């Protein structure tokens, strides 16, 4: 297996718009359903099924780099969120589960800091169709910006608003690093593979995805709500965090100022209160 330079070339085309970048700031996740072709899923699955298969070898494998790590659907999202010349992974894990397995608790991975930046992306790829009984990872959208102590998180059971990654073979889930996640109970006899790696930013953030000249920074809706982050308090809590992350991604972190009280970004969905944008 050849070892390649692990930095993406500068010709990867971004695929996300301003609105989609803002949506990622809100949810901390972007799903690409079934984007990796079956021919790829098949050989990856067969490789992982071999005795002594080492997933780390995949990040050094030309075919895996070409067909998965640099798949245009994946890199379009990664390029949009991490800028040009993002770093490809040097390690890869496989959360392989054989037969029935008990649920794991909610957690965040080591080093999570609920940062309002986007220096890296954690990516999950399923080379086989994941049905609910196979224990597909659960994510809680919007949780990447919500600081919580790990020991508290471990006590949480099922959460309203959680999303299960039951999806067709070849699906890829791009996530903010601090997103809360969990493996639910796996009840069937199958063997399930879940490959996981990270891409890293190497350039300063700038607004160089698919931009809309009419995008309204002052008037955009920065609030986020789902069944977990419901109710006025939680909905409005999200607004400054989401706005700060979005401004950082745009390379405008130094322009981000909270005016306090009910001013921007709380006011941004109320046209009568506009004008206090950071």
Residues that bind Fe ion (CB under 5 A): 109
Smallest gap, in angstroms, from Cβ of residue 140 to Fe ion? 13
Measured CA to CA, the distance from residue 174 to residue 203 in angstroms comes to 19
Give whichever of 89 and 265 is closer to Fe ion, judged by the CB atom.
89
Give whichever of 70 and 159 is closer to Fe ion, judged by the CB atom.
159
- Closest residue (Cβ) to Fe ion? 109
Give whichever of 111 and 260 is closer to Fe ion, judged by the CB atom.
111
**Dihedral of alpha carbons 267, 82, 112, 155, sign:** positive
Smallest gap, in angstroms, from Cβ of residue 13 to Fe ion? 30
Burial class (CB in 10 A: 0-12, 13-18, 19+), 239: buried
Smallest gap, in angstroms, from Cβ of residue 267 to Fe ion? 37
Smallest gap, in angstroms, from Cβ of residue 166 to Fe ion? 18
Give whichever of 81 and 138 is closer to Fe ion, judged by the CB atom.
138
93 has which bridge partners?
Answer: 196
Measured CA to CA, the distance from residue 162 to residue 226 in angstroms comes to 9
From 237, 258, 232, 236, select the one nearest 247 (Cα to Cα).
Answer: 258
List the beta strands (DSSP E) in 127-271.
138-139, 163-164, 171-176, 181-182, 191-192, 195-200
Give whichever of 66 and 109 is closer to Fe ion, judged by the CB atom.
109
Give whichever of 109 and 158 is closer to Fe ion, judged by the CB atom.
109
CA 126 to mean position of chain CA atoms? 15
Smallest gap, in angstroms, from Cβ of residue 104 to Fe ion? 8
CA 171 to mean position of chain CA atoms? 13
Smallest gap, in angstroms, from Cβ of residue 209 to Fe ion? 27
């Amino acid at each position: 297996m050849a070892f390649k330079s692990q930095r993406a070339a500068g010709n990867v085309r971004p695929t996300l718009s301003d609105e989609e970048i803002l949506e990622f700031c809100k949810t901390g996740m972007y799903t690409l359903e079934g984007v990796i072709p079956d021919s790829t899923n098949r050989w990856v699955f067969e490789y992982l099924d071999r005795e002594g298969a080492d997933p780390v070898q995949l990040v050094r494998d030309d075919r895996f780099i070409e067909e998965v790590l640099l798949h245009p659907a994946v890199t379009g999202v990664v390029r949009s969120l991490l800028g040009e010349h993002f770093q490809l992974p040097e390690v890869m894990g496989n959360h392989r589960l054989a037969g029935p397995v008990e649920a794991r608790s909610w957690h965040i991975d080591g080093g999570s800091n609920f940062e309002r930046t986007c220096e890296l992306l954690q990516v999950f790829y399923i080379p086989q169709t994941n049905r609910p009984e196979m224990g597909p990872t659960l994510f809680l959208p919007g949780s990447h910006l919500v600081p919580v102590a790990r020991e508290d998180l471990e006590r949480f059971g099922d959460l309203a608003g959680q999303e299960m990654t039951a999806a067709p073979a070849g699906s890829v889930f791009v996530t903010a690093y601090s997103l809360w996640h969990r493996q639910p109970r796996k009840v069937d006899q199958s063997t399930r593979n879940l490959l996981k790696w990270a891409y890293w930013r190497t350039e300063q953030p700038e607004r160089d995805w698919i931009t809309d000249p009419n995008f309204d920074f002052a008037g955009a809706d920065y609030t986020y709500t789902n069944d977990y982050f419901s109710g006025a308090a939680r909905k409005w809590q999200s607004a400054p965090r989401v706005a700060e992350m979005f401004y950082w991604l745009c390379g405008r972190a130094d322009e981000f100022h909270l005016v306090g009280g009910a001013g921007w970004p709380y006011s941004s969905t109320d046209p009568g209160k506009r004008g206090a944008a950071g």
